[in-house]
Amino acid sequence: MTLPRLQLSVIGDEIGPSLDEMISFAHEHGLSRLDMRTVGGRNLLAMKTEEIIHISRTLEKAGISVPAFVSPAFKWQAPGRHATNGKVDFAFDPTLCPIEDWVGHAMQIAVILGAPHLRIFSYLRYDSFRPADLIALTKDLSKLLTLANHYDVTLQLENEPVCNVGNVAELAAFFKSVEEWAGKEPGDDEEEETFERSEPSPEQPTYLRPLVDFANAWSTGERPSDADIAFLAPLTTAIHLKDRDLGTKRTVPLGDGDVPWAAELKRLLKGARTKEVLASIETHCPQDGRNATARSIAGLHRIAAEVGVEVV
Query: Would you kindly state where each structural domain of the chain is located, as residue ranges?
Result: 5-307
State yes or no: pLDDT of 191 exceeds 50: no
289 Cβ contact list (under 8 Å, min separation 6): 14, 15, 16, 283
The model's pLDDT over 60-92, given as tens digits with 9 standing for 90+, comes to 999 999 999 999 999 999 999 988 766 787 779
Reply yes or no on whether the pLDDT at 224 is more than 80: yes
pLDDT score at 182: 55
Burial of 41 (0-12, 13-18, 19+ CB in 10 A): exposed
Q: How confident is the model at residue 306 (pLDDT cuts 50, 70, 90)?
A: very high
Q: Are 144 and 207 in contact (CB under 8 A)?
A: no
List Cα–Cα distances, 124 to 77, 202, 210, in angstroms.
5, 31, 17
Under a CB-based contact definition with an 8 Å cutoff, are residues 210 and 235 in contact? yes
Q: Give, for 38, the enclosing helix (H) or strand (E).
A: strand 38-39
What is the reported pLDDT for 201?
Answer: 41
- What pTM, to 2 d.p., does this model score? 0.91
Classified by CATH at the fold level, domain 5-307 comes out as TIM Barrel (3.20.20)
Residue 17 pLDDT grade (very low, low, confident, very high; cuts 50, 70, 90): very high
What mean pLDDT do residues 128-150 have? 93
pLDDT tens digit sequence for 31-60: 999 999 999 999 999 999 999 999 999 999
* pLDDT single digits (tens) 194-222: 444 444 443 345 899 999 999 999 999 99
Among 311, 294, 300, CA closest to 27: 294
Please report the pLDDT score of residue 183 as a whole number: 52
Counting every residue written for the chain, the total comes to: 312
Q: Are strands 68-73 and 117-120 parallel, antiparallel or unpaired?
A: parallel
Average pLDDT, the chain: 91
SS3 for 136-162, per residue?
HCCCHHHHHHHHHHHHCCEEEEECCCC
